[in-house]
Structure 1
Amino acid sequence: MNALYFKDLLDKTHRGVVAAVLRGGVPGGQLYGYDLVHALDEFGEPIRGKRKINEEQAAIIREIFKYYAEGRKLKHICDDLNRQGIDSPKGGKWASSSLVGSFVRQTGMLRQTLYDGFVTFNKLQYRKHPENGKRLSIVRPEKEWITVPIPELAILKEETFLKVQKALDERSSMHMQRKLIPAVMTDEERRDKSIRRSKEWRRNQAVGNKRANAVFGGKLYCGEHDQKITATYAKHYSCPVKGCANRNLHYDEIIKLVLDAIAELDEAKIIEHFESDEIQQVRAHHTREIERLTRYLEDLRASINKVIDALGPDARSSEIRAFFDDKAEQIQRTKLDIAHHKRELPGSTLPRKLENIIQRHQNLVASLRAWSRDPEAVACMRQIIERLTLCATSQNKSKAVCLANFDLQSIISTNKRP
Structure 2
Amino acid sequence: MTLRAVIYARYSSDLQSASSIEDQIRLCRERAARAGWQIVGSYEDAATSGASLMRPGIQRLQQDARACRFDIVISEALDRLSRNQADIAALYQNLTFAGVAIETLAEGRIDEMHIGLKGTMNALFLKDLAAKTRRGLRGRVEAGKSGGGNAFGYTVLRSLTEDGEIRRGDREINPDEAAILRRIFQSYADGLSPNRIADLLNQEGIPGPRGRAWDKSTIHGNPKRGTGVLNNELYVGRLVWNRQSFVKDPSTGKRQARPNPESEWIITEVPELRIIDQELWDRVKTRQEGRKIEQTDKEAWERRKPRFLLTGLVKCGCCGGGFSTVGKDRFGCSNSRNKGKSICTNRTGITRQELEGRILSILSEQLMDPDLVKIFVAEYIAERNRLAASHVDDRAVKQKELAKVIRDQDVLVNALLAGTPPERIRAKMEQLEARQKQLEQDLAAAPTPTTTRLHPRIAETYHDRIQALIAGLSEPEAEGEAREAIRGLIDKIVVTPVPGLGKRMLPQVELHGSLAAILGLSLAVDQACGQQKTSCEQEVEESVGFLVAGACNHRDQHSLEVFV
| TM-score normalised to structure 2 length | 0.31
Q: Could you say which structure has the higher helix fraction?
A: 1
Q: Which has the higher Rg, Structure 1 or Structure 2? A: 2
- Which structure would you say has the larger RCO, counting Cα contacts within 8 Å and 6 or more residues apart? 1
| TM-score normalised to structure 1 length | 0.42
Q: Could you say which structure has the higher strand fraction?
A: 2
